[in-house]
Amino acid sequence: MNVVLAKTETGRALSDIFVIARDRLPGAGKFAELRRQAFAAYERAGLPHRRIEEWKYTDLRVLMREVLPLAPAPDAATLKRAGDVLKLHAIAGVRRLVLVDGVFAPSLSDLAKLEKGLGIRTLREVLETGDAALQARLFAPDNADAMVALNTAMMTDGLVVEVADGVALTQPLHIVHIASAAAPAAMFTRSLLNVGKAARVTLVESYIAASGSKAYQVHDSAIVSIGDDARLDHVRLVEDARDAFNISSAVVTLGARAQFNTFGMTSGSNVSRYQPVIAFAGEGSRVEANGVKLLNGRQHADTTLLLDHAVPNCASREIFRSVLDDRGHSVFQGRIIVRPHAQKTDAKMMTRALLLSDEAEADNKPELEIFADDVTCGHGATTGALDESLLFYLRARGLSEKEAQALLIQAFVGEAIESIANDALRELVISAAQRWLAARG
């Protein structure tokens, strides 16, 4: 019997989107074929849904429903709006690299007087004129995950940053993603960061929206390589518009004796998901992954983290905190895999959720898969409300109920925020958390 699978209206519309966008996508020849293969993989799977275990709590067929058309290339008016919002999110002492609606904006970026050993190019430049090794790495993530496959097919621009061996950057790099299109649209970006041996880099990523940008979609992907004896400190701030969607992924590979400290805070977007895969490829490396979610209204934020311990003598620590008000929904899925040869692994993971409302929801799913016998591993998850006795104690000493709650919430998220090594960035995150607390009703 022959079975014919009919496309949905959304499927037909998305196929049209890909066909229309192809002329704007960088790279031809084999790259066009790789894009076509990736889009075919996405079409076969469609938007992830709850019957897929990794997406059980974030059903994009219900939450997002469709992929929007590609955002138009930014014009002068769009860049003006982007510049206005950029002033409100400026960070002193950083090298700013700006993507507006998924396209690099040199007029808003700081490319002057690059430090010796620092190279910065755009994804478009590398795919059209760059070297074959970098081009291959930009297409390296496989298409098993539907949203990664879609990003591969549609990636329009991004940044390729290379830091030479032994270089310690004196300025943090700040990649700013700005949504500025007047109509709902999607932006697809992919960036690559290569940290050379014994190099030191601090990277900040921000997701923000210009005035008038609504109901847009961010589809971002990052490929990060950290060389032997190198260190990368990473701070990620999601402050998108409250009706936006942010679906981001990352693949991070560590060499021997490398260190990766990453912190993320989500307070924006209607629906967001961050799915990093962190792989230990060299012995003696360490990862500290920490995060805070501050959610209210009907916000939905998902962190799905995989740490792959494939070699011996590595350590990882994960601390995640969620504060949920109204009908906010937090998802944390953390999986630690310890491969058979990864003896002497030391891995611990803890996630805690604080519910400020009876309608808030937290789904925590920490997992361990251990195939070695000489390891120290553990995980835990808790969900609860503010301690009434502590609230009473603070109220009795003259604080209002809101002030007392804010003090306890700051203490709750403080352990994760304190992991940020850079003092100025740590204060920046604390200020952002305080603004969220001050805005509570």
Question: 48-68, pLDDT tens digit by residue?
Answer: 999 999 999 999 999 999 999
Q: What is the mean pLDDT of residues 286-307?
A: 97
Q: How confident is the model at residue 337 (pLDDT cuts 50, 70, 90)?
A: very high
Q: What is the mean pLDDT of residues 123-139?
A: 91
Q: How confident is the model at residue 3 (pLDDT cuts 50, 70, 90)?
A: very low
pLDDT of residue 347: 97
Q: Which of 268, 259, 354, 349 is nearest to 306 (CA)?
A: 349
Question: 224-240, pLDDT tens digit by residue?
Answer: 999 999 999 999 999 99
pLDDT of residue 8: 41
pLDDT of residue 14: 67
pLDDT of residue 13: 62
Tell me the C-alpha distance between 314 and 336, whole Å. 12
pLDDT of residue 24: 87
Q: How confident is the model at residue 131 (pLDDT cuts 50, 70, 90)?
A: confident
Question: 161-216, pLDDT tens digit by residue?
Answer: 999 999 999 999 999 999 998 889 999 999 999 999 999 999 999 999 998 898 99
The residue ranges of every structural domain in the chain are 9-384
Q: What is the mean pLDDT of residues 72-90?
A: 93
Is residue 19 predicted with pLDDT exceeding 90? no
Average pLDDT, the chain: 93
Within 10 A of 23 (CB to CB), how many other CB atoms are there? 6
The answer to whether the CB of 346 falls within 8 A of the CB of 313 is no
Is residue 35 predicted with pLDDT exceeding 60? yes
Q: What is the mean pLDDT of residues 72-76?
A: 93
Q: Is pTM, for the whole model, over 0.85?
A: yes
pLDDT of residue 27: 87
Tell me the C-alpha distance between 185 and 175, whole Å. 20
pLDDT of residue 21: 82
